[in-house]
Amino acid sequence: MGDKISAEKDIIEYWLNQKGFSTVKNIQVSNRDIGILALKPENGVNGFYHIEVSCSLTSGLSEKDVKKGISKFISKTFNEVLIIKGVNKIIKNISGEKMEYKKILVVSNLPVSKEEEILNEFQSKEINIFKFEDIMADVILELDTQYYNDSVLRTLQLTKFLLLSQPEKLAMLLDKKGKYSILNQKSKQRFIDSFLSQDDKLFKNIETEKIAGLIKHSKMRDPEQLAEVIVRELLGSKTKKKFLEAVIKQEKMQSIFKKPVKVYEVKEKFEKKQKPLMSFFRN
């Protein structure tokens, strides 16, 4: 990885190498730069890929006319005559003959409202799309604790093991408000939903008071929704009665009723509503 190569290309090239690809990068054709040329044996024959990178910290490819914008982008990035000649020349030097190659674009921060349209349009033009966020996450997840001489990989490694591994620091980064915040309110909700969906045992060792606080500030503070979730998701047929008994025993619950409610009264009312199985077979 050279000093003048962008960090994005460093990360993508490392990812490709880890996947078994050989790479040639930053190829100069006249005054143009071809991003990365990758090759990998496929069924005994080298498969070639021309890879370009379009990464931004803000949403890119956001032109109102998606088809027009993508068409202009492809013409300039992949289909310009000098670029095609340059790619074909390198492939011939490597393989000894002219060979077909596939085109890949690595992008970041696609506008959510147009993402599907953008992906479909590129696919219709035979351009495969990879998201830089996915590649970067893949690289970070696989980094171990060995020392990396490359400054970009070393930075990712330090970020992973010294910063993101500290719960308090991670929470502070995610909750940062203002101009340079990482997550807005909507993306915070998506983060929480995604995180919980990956670990449904997360609350197992969390104190009761903290769980109560989460419920208090969620949609489940509505009594009907809370009751529905408890009955449908948390309680089995044997535990519903026990739960009801436990609720009635609470001192604050007793104050709601005009006269004290005994647990046995709840049992009787509950049991009266339960018809024995044989009653359905009587004449």
Q: Where are the domains of the chain?
A: 7-155, 236-275
pLDDT tens, per residue, the chain with 283 residues:
444 458 999 999 999 999 999 998 878 887 788 899 999 987 777 899 999 998 876 655 555 678 888 999 999 999 999 999 999 999 999 888 889 999 999 998 888 888 899 999 999 999 999 999 999 999 999 999 999 999 999 999 999 999 988 888 888 887 877 777 777 777 777 777 777 666 666 666 666 666 676 666 666 667 777 777 777 777 777 787 777 777 767 666 666 655 555 555 555 555 555 555 555 555 5
What CATH number does the domain located at 7-155 have? 3.40.1350.10
Q: Record the pTM.
A: 0.69
Supply the pLDDT for residue 237: 74
Supply the pLDDT for residue 270: 52
Nearest residue to 108 via CA among 60, 66, 62: 60
**What whole-number distance in Å separates Cα of residue 36 and Cα of residue 41?**
17
Nearest residue to 247 via CA among 263, 223, 270: 263
Q: Is 234 exposed, middle or buried (0-12, 13-18, 19+ CB in 10 A)?
A: exposed
Supply the pLDDT for residue 263: 55
> What sign does the dihedral 27-32-35-37 (CA atoms) show?
negative
